[in-house]
A and B are shown apart, each in its own frame.
Chain A
């Protein structure tokens, strides 16, 4: 690389970090856009589907942890986005809507996953010397169980129209709850992402340190139903 282009590379490197951090700024907007998209695409609820409604037992107990989890909120955001995209990537089902609308939903979810991943990577670099807390592990596991129940319901109902209707309504509700929690966290702390002070949570008796590797999810690759979900 010639020296005269070095200044251009340096300029890009200088601004690449702030540009990357902008993903965290737009993540909240992306989540809200997907909420609107799911509501516009899946309008109405047929009375006949009321007989299939069930309680997916959303883990409400993690909400207090999420509202105080300043340094690991992006990891939680990435976890939720990834699990939701996994649900909508399940193959072997009749989509409840047209293919065009279905692709639009998947594309929106993919953008959300990508932005959440960027935010998570930035957060991981900051927390390199600080392992995740026990609270984060609890949240991580509970979210896994929750989306597992959703997936199991979908399979049991054989990906029926009403099942997809109910699952769509449930995932939309999950996004709303998480978005409100992020908003409350932002209001109390003022900032999410870089620069947040690590707040150590409760430790396990064995003082084990848990390190989580974010799985890379490619929307073009169909994830098998029984593949490593909920771990």
Chain B
């Protein structure tokens, strides 16, 4: 009997030892031999974990190892060791999975060992439901007009922590410098993971500071994080930039449309009526006046004289047959230029004979056509061959020009075939008859040769008849011109022997 009871007692003790060893619970009397050390043990909720931390009042001495024991005051006096916080050099311990009753009073005992010796013990009591909440870690990113506050909430596994977070408001404090601008209370009860809160309606170039905390007593506030918002700090096109771009476009459109409307109604950009002297549109034409087109101007019909007219040196034999004669200066100061031309198309038959004298005359003429052709400034003297009533009055200019070409053939016969070419030549007005074609009916003819003769005698004779030979002999007399206007040489008048022969008009011509 006794042996059976003994065996059962031993078995129970062994079982208790096994249980005690597995739970690692010891009576508090096991630490009676160690002195009490003043310390402070705090409990906080950090990153959704229940963290126990301690601090010895006497911090001096070498580093120590700590072992955490605890008990619940309403249950059992035996102490339970926290395995994760046994012989640790850290002065904190995570008891989230150990302390599960928030409304109980826990007694925590920290056993301090230095080396192999147990130096002291430290104990305190606490209620987990009263543990303060620490704010989470956060980052801020500033933009032009808002700040993104990003924080992380780890998953909550403890009922105590869940109840604490549910009953404690979370505050994001926004301040400018030292003054609190605004307090935000976002709901973070069921938030897990990253959480971003945006602080809006902020001013650029302003220093903003952000702080987080749980509104509890006591409240543990996070350190301030400050940032200065810079204009254009954001990456990409912000809403503000978009609105600014659209607004500027609208303003430009309104401005342009206003200008267009004002211009249409004539309120602005009126046509300026500048005086002609300030009108520089025709500035170039003012400097370089254009040659006025040929219009109704007085044209002189050059009527070459008879080929029988002689040189002023009265050398009949030589002057009419010689093809080349060197022009010599006369006493009077002018030179004779031979006038050559091809027969007219209209009067090709009739002008054949008069043409010959023209050729003969050209053979004895001085070459000055080239010089005359080069003098482009000289007015073109139209010729008229066979001009008379039978002619077409609508095209007197063209016919004159062609007649001129025909009557005064050039030395370069290749240019004869070009009807549009102007023939520029020097004309010995003494040898030709000139007629100003104002009107076919009222025409005045003048004879330069006669005037030249008359110059010696006196300039009182004003009327002469100059006609081109070889043409129409029925031409009316040309209007008379003053002899002074027609004389283009040095002005000296002289007599010529041809003037006598030109006195005989014959068939409308004054033959010299």
Which residue numbers of A lie inside 8 Å of B, CB to CB? 32, 35, 43-48, 50-51, 53-58, 60, 166, 169-170, 172-173, 176-177, 180, 183-184, 187
Q: Are B123 and A44 in contact (CB under 8 A)?
A: yes
A50-B28 CB under 8 A given contacts A43-B124, A184-B167:
yes
Check if B254 is an interface residue, CB within 8 A of chain A.
no
User: In the assembly, what is the distance between CA of A51 and CA of B71, in Å?
Assistant: 11
User: In the assembly, what is the distance between CA of A43 and CA of B127, in Å?
Assistant: 13
Additional pairs, 8, CB under 8 Å, beyond known A50-B77, A176-B130? A50-B28, A55-B75, A57-B74, A58-B74, A173-B103, A176-B127, A177-B129, A180-B129
A50-B107 CB under 8 A given contacts A56-B74, A173-B127:
yes
Nearest residue (CB) in A for B79 is A50
Q: Are A180 and B167 in contact (CB under 8 A)?
A: yes
A32-B217 CB under 8 A given contacts A45-B124, A47-B32, A180-B129:
yes
The DSSP consensus for interface residues of chain A is helix
Q: Are B123 and A53 in contact (CB under 8 A)?
A: no
Q: Are B73 and A46 in contact (CB under 8 A)?
A: no
- Collect the chain B residues with CB atoms within 8 Å of residue A177's CB: 103, 129
Q: Are B123 and A46 in contact (CB under 8 A)?
A: yes
Residues of B116-165 whose CB lies within 8 A of A: 121, 123-125, 127, 129-130
Nearest residue (CB) in B for A179 is B130
A43, A60, A173: the one within 8 Å of B105 (CB): A173
Q: Are A183 and B129 in contact (CB under 8 A)?
A: no
Check if B234 is an interface residue, CB within 8 A of chain A.
no
- Collect the chain A residues with CB atoms within 8 Å of residue B77's CB: 50-51, 53
Nearest residue (CB) in B for A28 is B217
Q: Are B28 and A51 in contact (CB under 8 A)?
A: yes
Nearest residue (CB) in B for A177 is B103
Q: Are B36 and A47 in contact (CB under 8 A)?
A: yes
Which 6 A-B pairs have CB atoms at the shortest separation, nearest pair first?
A55-B74, A50-B28, A45-B125, A53-B73, A50-B77, A47-B28
User: In the assembly, what is the distance between CA of A170 and CA of B105, in Å?
Assistant: 8
User: In the assembly, what is the distance between CA of A58 and CA of B75, in Å?
Assistant: 12
Q: How far is the CB of B410 from chain A (nearest CB, A)?
A: 124
Q: How far is the CB of B45 from chain A (nearest CB, A)?
A: 14
Nearest residue (CB) in A for B217 is A32
Q: How far is the CB of A9 from chain B (nearest CB, A)?
A: 38
Check if B259 is an interface residue, CB within 8 A of chain A.
no
Check if B31 is an interface residue, CB within 8 A of chain A.
yes
User: In the assembly, what is the distance between CA of A115 and CA of B403, in Å?
Assistant: 140
Q: Are A47 and B109 in contact (CB under 8 A)?
A: yes
Check if B38 is an interface residue, CB within 8 A of chain A.
yes
User: In the assembly, what is the distance between CA of A56 and CA of B29, in Å?
Assistant: 23
B28, B74, B127, B167: the one within 8 Å of A187 (CB): B167
- Collect the chain B residues with CB atoms within 8 Å of residue A56's CB: 74
Q: Are A166 and B130 in contact (CB under 8 A)?
A: no
- Collect the chain B residues with CB atoms within 8 Å of residue A50's CB: 28, 71, 77, 79, 107
Q: How far is the CB of A30 from chain B (nearest CB, A)?
A: 12
Q: How far is the CB of B453 from chain A (nearest CB, A)?
A: 140
- Collect the chain B residues with CB atoms within 8 Å of residue A55's CB: 74-75
User: In the assembly, what is the distance between CA of A228 and CA of B442, in Å?
Assistant: 162
- Collect the chain A residues with CB atoms within 8 Å of residue B125's CB: 45, 169
Can you report 25 A-B residue pairs in the complex whose CB atoms are below 8 A from each other? A32-B217, A44-B123, A45-B123, A45-B124, A46-B123, A47-B28, A47-B36, A50-B28, A50-B71, A50-B77, A50-B79, A50-B107, A53-B73, A55-B74, A55-B75, A56-B74, A57-B74, A60-B103, A169-B73, A170-B105, A173-B104, A173-B105, A173-B127, A176-B130, A177-B129
Q: How far is the CB of B302 from chain A (nearest CB, A)?
A: 126
